[in-house]
Structure 1
Amino acid sequence: MREKKPAAWVKSALEFGPVLLFFVGYLKLKDEVFTIGGTEYGGFVVVTACFVPLMVLCSGLLWKLTGHLSKMQIATMVLVVVFGGLSVWFNDERFFKMKPTMIYLLFGGILGVGLLRGTSYLKVVMEEALPMQYAGWMILTRRLCGFFLALAVLNELIWRTQSEATWVYFKTFGLSAAMFVFFIAQTKVFQTYGIEEDDSEPKQG
């Protein structure tokens, strides 16, 4: 199916809106306790219960508008449903806090398996959006694999040793900022190994 092109602001709203709404909802309800069906739920769990279906809805709308969801987006949505659902079912916020750890371990592990097989799975996913020589893909894949594993360790350290509010700020802004800085830091790789669409010969590294 050919990917459609919705307005950029619509795509961004569907991708980042649920996370920002989770953050706003947490700030408003973090100190509240709700009694539902005779069971008391903290604000964090209630916000998580709202976030999960919102994430699924936005992912569905994104697929409807673009005709496409990346494997990363699908895996993220599945893990949100699983770990968010566990947090609500067991009334335990720890499951949802482990979700980023599982996401980054999954992505880092997949890239690591590819590297062990002498190939770049990242190239398969991103080649159309980022044409680059094979050597460049291998460099980027090794770095991103290590970066994902480092983020998994960092998430565990923060949610286990810091306050709940600190973790929410980290999840909402810290992880996105870290990803942005990582790719900015790879500018040299993109410049050295990037391929213009009309290039007839690869560049020399």
Structure 2
Amino acid sequence: MKQIIDFIPLIIFFALYKMQDIYVATGALIAATAVQIVVTYFLYKKVEKMQLITFAMVTVFGGMTIFLQDENFIKWKVTIVYAIFAIGLAVSHAIGRSAIKGMLGKEISLPDPVWTKINTAWVAFFSFCAGLNIYVAYEMPLDVWVNFKVFGLLIVTLLFTVLTGIYIYKKMDKSEQPEQELDQKLNKDEQDHTS
């Protein structure tokens, strides 16, 4: 449900861009993102920092796009958001408080070197997307950039998330195996004592 709510502002942006223009679509994106945050808070009683950062960037760069009638500002928003995420993950790791481990560490137990690799991979991914957005924004027509922003980045992010999940699953099995062997040994010892 949450993923659907997160995707609605992009669909609205895409539809209004196709029906009207980039400026109408950008105004709708700002409004839809604001509504998204309200709905998310109403349903889940919290809003993630990433959503708030995205909303702030959409509002600032979208507002500049509309006010100055310059589509370049909304194009830059994507790169700046991805750069903020990359820097945030890098800094959180550098100070010893990995954001990814903080988000997932309560549910998933992994060795610290695995968390480091996951964190580094996401820093590289966000950095790559930030650079790729600049390339598409300035080397391709506006229609191509809109399609890339709405669908291309979404597909690439979903794919990278799945790959991260597979990597975690493989590492989780290995890291939890000693615990499972210990549990089996303890259970066997208990059975030996009770028989």
Deviation at 1:80, TM superposition (A): 0.9
SS in 1 for 2:46: coil
Cα contact 1:15–1:59 (8 A) shared by 2: no
Which of residues 21, 28, 40 in structure 1 aligns to 2:19? 28
Distance 1:169 1:61, change over 3 A: same
Contact 1:14 1:59 in 2 (8 A): no
Residue in structure 1 matching 2:26, options 48, 52, 55: 48
- Residue 19 of structure 1: aligned partner: 10
| 1:160-193 per-position Cα deviation (integer Å, ceiling 9, x unaligned) | 1100000000000000111111122234421233
* DSSP 3-state at the match of 1:138: helix
Identity %: 26
Q: Secondary structure at the match of 2:13?
A: helix
Structure 1 gap segments, 5+ residues each:
1-7, 30-42
What is the alpha-carbon distance in structure 2 between the residues aligned to residue 200 and residue 68 of structure 1? 36
- Range with greater deviation from structure 2 (164-173 or 181-190): 181-190
The residue type paired with residue 91 of structure 2 is V
Aligned counterparts of 1:133 and 1:106: Cα–Cα separation in 2: 26
Q: Distance in 1 between matches of 2:130 and 2:14?
A: 20
In structure 2, distance between residues paired with 1:189 and 1:48: 37
Corresponding position of 1:36: none
User: Per the alignment, do residues 153 and 199 of structure 1 end up closer, same or farther by CA in structure 2, a change over 3 Å counting?
Assistant: same
Counterpart-to-counterpart distance in 1, 2:15 and 2:172: 39
Larger Rg: 2
Q: Which amino acid aligns with 1:19?
A: L
Inter-partner Cα distance in structure 1 for 2:101 and 2:77 = 25
Change in 2 beyond 3 A, CA 1:122/1:22: same
Question: Partners of 2:131 and 2:180 in 1: how far apart?
Answer: 37
Counterparts in 2 of 1:129 and 1:81: CA distance versus 1, 3 Å: farther
* Alpha-carbon distance between aligned partners in 1 of 2:141 and 2:108, rounded to the nearest angstrom: 39
Q: Which runs of 5+ in 2 are unaligned?
A: 182-195
**Is the CA contact (8 Å cut-off) linking 2:12 and 2:32 kept in structure 1?**
no
Instruction: Give the structure with the higher percent helix.
Output: 2
The Cα RMSD (Å) is 2.4
Equivalent residues of 1:25, 1:47 under 8 A apart: yes
Deviation at 1:129, TM superposition (A): 5.2
Aligned position for 1:79: 57
Q: Would you say the 8 A contact 1:119–1:138 is kept in 2?
A: no
Contact kept? 1:136, 1:189, Cα under 8 Å: no
Cα deviation code 1:94-116 (max 9, x no counterpart): 10111110011000011112333
Aligned to 1:117: 95
| Partner SS state of residue 179, structure 2 | coil
Mapped pair 1:164 → 2:155? no
Distance 2:131 2:88 in 1: 17
Alignment match, 1:134: 112
Aligned length: 180
1:175 aligns with 2:166: no
Asked if structure 2 preserves the Cα contact closer than 8 Å seen for 1:76 and 1:103, the reply is yes
2:193 is matched with: none
Residue 151 (str. 1) matches residue 151 (str. 2): no
